[in-house]
Amino acid sequence: MARERRRLLIAPERLAAAAAEGLELPVLALTAEESRYLTRVLRYGPGDVFAVINGAGSLWSAELLAADRAVLQQPLAAPLQDQPPSQPQLVLAAAVVKRDFEVVVRMAVELGVDRLIPLLCERTAVQGQLRPERWRTIAAEAAEQCERLWMPQIDQPTPLAALLAEASAPGAAACLRCWATTRRDGLMPLDQLLQLEAWASTPDAAAPLPTGIWLACGPEGGWSEAEEQQVLGLDWQPVGLGPRILRSSTACIAGLSSLSAWRAARSGC
């Protein structure tokens, strides 16, 4: 089997600008960071071939012409691969934590998250400034590394009240929304909830799939009592993530792993 080529994520607007030059095969101007990665990290030279993804489901092969230029080997309108987005969409609303949030971002992308919402909660504690642009860079690098074609959406840091308002707004998408919590009597495990839903058993189930499955995980120290009260009566299903109390970052990845494994078993993506 042929070895997978290293990938470089280039935004659709940059690819479109290169195609607008009118050449049959678009020539890409590489950024200094892209050039450094190809020529110094990978030690590529003129004539070496790599893959280009646009983060929107498409992949092309490309040949390095010089340190600062590469040419696609297919027309922009005829990629080697063109993949639709995975369904249902996986959304992780993860409370920002002091030390591990960059790890959460990377692992979530590797597990197939489609949208990551950094949550600001009552007990949120961070060191230094919030860095959404840094998180997006990490997400792009993780997408290249794990060979996914779709770049996930990384939201701006979002207060919990804004998240709940979005989910409850008229016309909000039909989603299953899971609220990870602990120390509640009769708390249903997330895995069990996925199997009990009417649409979960087979691809031919009569009930349609939700457009998305959301998982909200709280901060270090857990949700406050006021936050737990906020979700009562809203369209969120309290779920457990196992018999032990997990670190916030561990809970995010444990829960998303369950969602990702269920989606892969059901739809193969």
Q: How many CA atoms lie within 13 A of 121 on its CB side?
A: 27
The fold adopted by the segment(s) 7-82 is Ribosomal Protein L25; Chain P (2.40.240)
Separation between Cα atoms, residue 249 and residue 252, nearest integer Å: 5
Percent of the chain with pLDDT over 70: 94
CATH class of 89-267: alpha beta
Among candidate residues 46, 54, 45, 62, the one with its CA nearest the CA of residue 6: 62
Separation between Cα atoms, residue 20 and residue 154, nearest integer Å: 28
Q: What is the per-residue pLDDT for 170?
A: 77
**pLDDT > 90? residue 77:** yes
pLDDT in tens, 134-185: 999 999 999 999 999 999 999 999 999 999 999 888 777 789 999 999 988 8
Assign residue 121 a region: left if phi > 0, alpha if psi is -120 to 50, beta otherwise? Answer: beta
The domains of the chain are located at: 7-82, 89-267
**pLDDT > 50? residue 54:** yes
What is the H or E stretch that residue 240 is in? strand 237-240
Least confident of 31-35, 129-133, 189-193, 237-241: 129-133
7-82 against 89-267: fold identical:
no
The residue written with tokens 């916030």 in the block is 248
**pLDDT > 50? residue 189:** yes
